[in-house]
Amino acid sequence: MPGAVRSARALWVLSFVLSGGAVLIAFLARDTLIADLTETLGRLAPGYEQTEVDSMVRLIYWASIVGLALVVAIEAVLLGSLLGRRGGARWWQLPVLALHTGVVLVASAFLAIGDWAVAIQLLILAGLALAVVAWVLCVVPSANRWFRMKDEAQVAALD
């Protein structure tokens, strides 16, 4: 395995840990986050009843948490496939990274509030940045050669 792929693997795993840490903090601080979100949305939408605001806050909160966790889980599955020398997984990672970017934007808007704002914001942004760098490392020439080597060796063995 070339150094670029080893580095990419380490960066992906670190990205998963950082994003998972953000999810964990947001989950553990859910009462505070939900109270802050309720107050903020209550001020922004004064015409709504309190039950509607509460429902919207819970939907936004859980959608942000689940979205971030789901994107990380999909990236982890694709990383496993990638490390099995399936180079096509790199190209599936690209739309997942775009989805990850969207989820980070939503999560940073709704989860990075209150006392935990800085920690959550830094963790999810750092997780995304590391994932992007890891993907770039998976498409450098040495990584391309490594992904293609398996196919070439199999074709040569069949001759």
* Contact predicate 103/67, CB 8 Å: yes
Question: Would you state the structure tokens that stand for residue 134, as one six-digit string?
Answer: 């890891």
Long-range contacts of 146-150 (CB under 8 A, 24+ apart): 146/1, 146/2, 146/5, 146/85, 147/85, 147/86, 147/87, 147/90, 148/87, 149/85, 150/85
Q: What is the pLDDT of residue 123?
A: 94
pTM for this predicted structure: 0.82
Q: Residue 112, SS3?
A: coil
Using an 8 Å Cβ cutoff, are 65 and 76 in contact?
no
Give 67's contacts (C-beta < 8 A, 6+ positions apart).
103, 106, 107
Per DSSP, the three-state class of 156 is helix
CB 23 within 8 A of CB 51: no
Phi, psi for residue 138 in degrees, rounded to 5:
-80, -10
Ordered per-residue pLDDT tens for the chain, 159 residues: 788 889 999 999 999 999 999 999 999 988 988 888 888 887 877 777 888 888 888 999 999 999 999 999 999 999 988 888 877 788 889 999 999 999 999 999 888 888 888 999 999 999 999 999 999 998 888 888 888 876 555 444 433
d(CA 29, CA 147) in angstroms, rounded, equals: 42
